[in-house]
A and B are shown apart, each in its own frame.
Chain A
Amino acid sequence: GQQVMQIPQYQHVQEGEDFTTYCNSSTTLSNIQWYKQRPGGHPVFLIQLVKSGEVKKQKRLTFQFGEAKKNSSLHITATQTTDVGTYFCAGPGGGDYKLSFGAGTTVTVRA
């Protein structure tokens, strides 16, 4: 079945620096979604990308969907302590009502 792989698994970032986390699929995706889970919290939907090459921004977060619709990235600029958490990407897998989640990238920030 379709699998979504995320790298890196852990990202330790100095406050103020930028970083990127990547999501790769073995198959073409109709769409890709990103979620954020704060420590001790639950995953919360951030954004959905649908079109090939699509780029969307949410303040310091930039999401991109690859041209082949097999990969996606999340770039965070000027990292802040509020960015701490685990970022999951998810793509449709085995039916449109079900998502296959990546293992997540856990971000910690050094002040």
Chain B
Amino acid sequence: ETGVTQTPRHLVMGMTNKKSLKCEQHLGHNAMYWYKQSAKKPLELMFVYNFKEQTENNSVPSRFSPECPNSSHLFLHLHTLQPEDSALYLCASSPRGQGYSGNTIYFGEGSWLTVV
């Protein structure tokens, strides 16, 4: 139990499908993140939300669309993905938002995505 829960744990989708990944944190944290992990780029930051506001979009293609309705929930909406988007998508949270030094990241168990 990590305190950060991701669903689904495994997802197979076609290139024309629309799906969403869900993340919920039970730690009372104020910042949430999406990371992509693949063999080519071990831990690639995608998006950062700080007090529900998106503060970072790390040049992510628009076929990935994040949503943060509140500080405990984070979604990643997926649309017309490519096979090279197949990877482990990790949600994470941290106690503080901007201005806090030494922010420890708590990761969820990840969602394994396969695009066919």
Contacts and interface: CB of A to CB of B under 8 A. Distances in A.
A88 B42 contact: yes
Given A42-B90, A42-B110, A104-B42, A99 B2 contact: no
Nearest to A48: B102
A88 B41 CA distance: 13
A98 B43 contact: no
Please tell me the size bucket of the interface on B: 20 to 34
Between A43, A97, A98, the greatest number of chain B beta carbons within 10 A of the residue's beta carbon is seen for A97
A99 B42 contact: no
A104 B38 CA distance: 12
Contacts of A48: 102, 104
Given A33-B104, A42-B109, A44-B107, A96 B98 contact: yes
Contacts of B2: 42, 44
Nearest to A32: B102
A45 interface: yes
Interface residues of A, number: 25
Contacts of B106: 45
Interface in A85-102: 86, 88, 90, 92, 94-101
Interface string B69-106: 00000000000000000000010001011111111111
Given A95-B55, A98-B56, A103-B42, 5 more contacts: A31-B102, A48-B104, A88-B42, A92-B103, A96-B98
14 contacts: A31-B101, A33-B105, A41-B109, A42-B107, A48-B102, A92-B101, A92-B103, A95-B98, A96-B96, A96-B99, A97-B31, A97-B96, A97-B97, A98-B103
Interface of A: 30-31, 33, 35, 41-45, 48, 50, 86, 88, 90, 92, 94-101, 103-104
